[in-house]
Amino acid sequence: MEQQSVVIAGGGPTGMWLACELRLAGVGVVVLERAPEIDPHSRALTVHPRTIETFALRGAHTRMLAEGGRISSGHFAVLDDRLDFGSLDTDFPFTLTIPQARTTELLQERALALGAEVRRGHRVTDAVSAPDSVSLTVLAPDGRTYALDAPYAVGCDGTRSVVRQCADIAFEGTSFTALGTLGDVVLDEPPPGAVVSAWTRRGTLMLVPLPGGLHRIAMHSPEDIREDWPGELTFEDFRERVRAVTGTDYGMHSPSWLSRFGNTSRLARSYRAGRILLAGDAAHQHMPAGGVGLNVGVQDAMNLGWKLAAVVTGRAPDALLDTYHAERHPVGADTIEHTQAQTALMMGFSPQGSALRSLMGKLIAERPQLRDALAERLSGLSVAYDLPGATHPLAGRRAPNLLLADSRHLYDLLADGRPVLVGSPRTSDGRLAPQQPQHRPAWDGVGAALIRPDGYVGWASGTTDSAALAREAEHALAALHGTPPERHPA
């Protein structure tokens, strides 16, 4: 039986990013992915601002920025008034359009470069958790079965997760009541603009250009409000649906992929069962409204990675892993609520639904605070964690890419995956300097702050007493259960 430190089932973006994080901390990792090759058909096309920040925390974002298209706004339920990302407090006020296949490829390259082992065509068929280890049964491409033993295993293996089922973790929620269709097609008469969206009483449609001369069209129709799964989606059916909404089919032909999707919404009762943990679609399933799925999964992996690495390497007690469920399970629940609300609006084809859409559109247009709040939610920047015992309002919130007094940026200091203490606990006048020209009132008067490896504030203090600041900082370091961070003057 092979011995591994951590086994990850599932080689999508979530599993690959988790592998990257574990290898960055020196933890042995093997990724088992049942598909022999990366699926060329990409359900996800968007990388949101917080996910770009997540990659930027490790310097893993530059190739994505170079390759992806930038869209400076997002949508809520395909309402006419789009959400402007320009007002968001981030270095990346845009969504990147990049196919999931390419995102997976880039993250796999990084994982391999960091020393992870990736076994494609290897399928987990069983996982048994014991008090001190997890034993997995794996089916290899040649038909042989072998066993893997590891201190921990993580299921990143999708909504039908074998790992979740073996761990007997309930996947609770509702089956689909509405469907959508999508097609990757060639358009001889594409509409102008990077992104096109339309809503009529005959259907909802979104159109986005893809690499290689293709366009992705995703849509919903009144007949898709149903609880039974119809037969195979044909190209003629898809083309007629598009015509019904827009009056044209844009000269579409040569479909490379046609598919259906639904609003089935389920959430794992627990993200942890002993030494088995879940992340990404194995932990939550929802309608792909707003393209949030990949992003939430990567952020699951970011939260789990540094904690699991600290436990495996003996720098933290096993109980640290309980905070993964405590912090990310509410995010999964919020994601389901957010996407279900959008589903109701996108598929509100009745007169009452049309009126609700009209009202919501007016409220968003008239109330900038509502528009900005929705933009923050869609971008992932609004996520904050409830840290027990924390008293400062910044604790549990993401840290922006602060410019520090030594002219370095905060995210550059987090590239090695270790926590960072900014500020000077040895002096009474150390203060964080907010990045210019944007002013950040929330950071005014902060004497020191401990930034967790995932870019969230683990502790902050505004005291001017140097001795008290030093004591608080050391207590925060001990509470983090990680390697003592480097200290940087602010």
pLDDT at 23 over 90: yes
Q: How far is CA 246 from CA 42, 192, 207, 452, in A?
A: 24, 14, 11, 48
In the block, tokens 């069962």 appear at: 273
CA distance 370 to 363: 8
Q: Say which CATH architecture domain 410-488 belongs to.
A: 3-Layer(aba) Sandwich (3.40)
What pLDDT score was predicted for residue 277?
Answer: 98
pLDDT band of residue 405 (cuts 50, 70, 90) is confident
Residue type, 374: L
The count of residues in the chain is 490
Three-state SS annotation for the chain: CEECCEEEECCCHHHHHHHHHHHHCCCCEEEEECCCCCCCCCCCCEECHHHHHHHHCCCCCHHHHHHCEEECEECCCCCCCCEEHHHCCCCCCCEEECCHHHHHHHHHHHHHHCCCEEEECCEEEEEEECCCCEEEEEECCCCCEEEEEECEEEECCCCCCHHHHHCCCCEEEECCCCEEEEEEEEECCCCCCCCEEEEECCEEEEEEECHHHCEEEEEECHHHCCCCCCCCCCHHHHHHHHHHHHCCCCCEEEEEEEEEEECCEEEECCCEECCEEECHHHCEECCCHHHCHHHHHHHHHHHHHHHHHHHHCCCCCHHHHHHHHHHHHHHHHHHHHHHHHHHHHHCCCCHHHHHHHHHHHHHHHHCHHHHHHHHHHHHCCCCECCCCCCCCCCCCEECCCCECCCCCEHHHHCCCCCCEEEECCCCCCCCCCCCCCCCCHHHCCCCEEEECCCCEEEEEECCCCHHHHHHHHHHHHHHHCCCCCEEECC
Indicate whether 51 pLDDT > 70.
Answer: yes
For residues 86 and 438, the answer to whether their CB atoms sit within 8 Å is: no
pLDDT at residue 389 above 90? no
* Cα–chain center distance at 270: 18
Tell me, what's the pLDDT at 467?
82
Separation CA 308–CA 395 (nearest Å)? 21
**Which residue shows structure tokens 């902060």?**
446
Residue 251: predicted pLDDT:
97
Strand order in the sheet with 265-268: 171-174, 265-268, 284-285
User: In percent, how much of the chain has pLDDT > 90?
Assistant: 80
Count the neighbouring beta carbons within 10 Å of the beta carbon of residue 162: 21
pLDDT tens digits along 73-100: 998 999 988 899 998 999 999 999 999 9
User: What is the number of alpha carbons within 13 Å of residue 321 lying toward its C-beta?
Assistant: 24
| Angle at alpha carbon of residue 401, lines to 399 and 405, rounded to 5° | 105
**CA 62 centroid distance within chain:** 18
How far apart, in Å, are the Cα atoms of 49 and each of 65, 94, 127, 254, 328? 11, 6, 35, 33, 18
Quick check: 332 pLDDT over 80?
Answer: yes
> Distance (Å, rounded) from C-alpha 258 to C-alpha 380?
29
Domains 2-174+265-379 and 410-488 share a fold: no
Predicted confidence (pLDDT) per residue in 199-224, tens digit: 999 999 999 999 889 999 999 999 99
Give me the CATH code for the 2-174+265-379 domain, please: 3.50.50.60
List strands edge to edge, sheet with 29-33: 117-120, 29-33, 6-9, 152-155, 276-278, 272-273
Q: Sorting pLDDT into bands at 50, 70 and 90, what band is 376?
A: very high
- The residues facing 218 across adjacent strands are 182, 206
**Quick check: bond before 437 cis, omega within 30?**
yes
Residue 342 has, within 13 A of its CA and on its CB side, a CA count of 28
β-pairing, 215-220 vs 276-278, is: unpaired
Measured over the CA atoms of residue 290, residue 293, residue 297 and residue 300, the dihedral's sign is positive
298 or 475: which leads in pLDDT: 298
pLDDT value, residue 463: 84
What does the domain layout of the chain look like in residue ranges? 2-174+265-379, 179-262, 410-488
Which CATH number applies to 179-262? 3.30.70.2450
- For residue 485, is pLDDT > 80? no
Per-residue confidence (pLDDT) for residue 212, from 0 to 100:
87
- Do strands 420-423 and 272-273 pair parallel, antiparallel, or not at all (unpaired)? unpaired
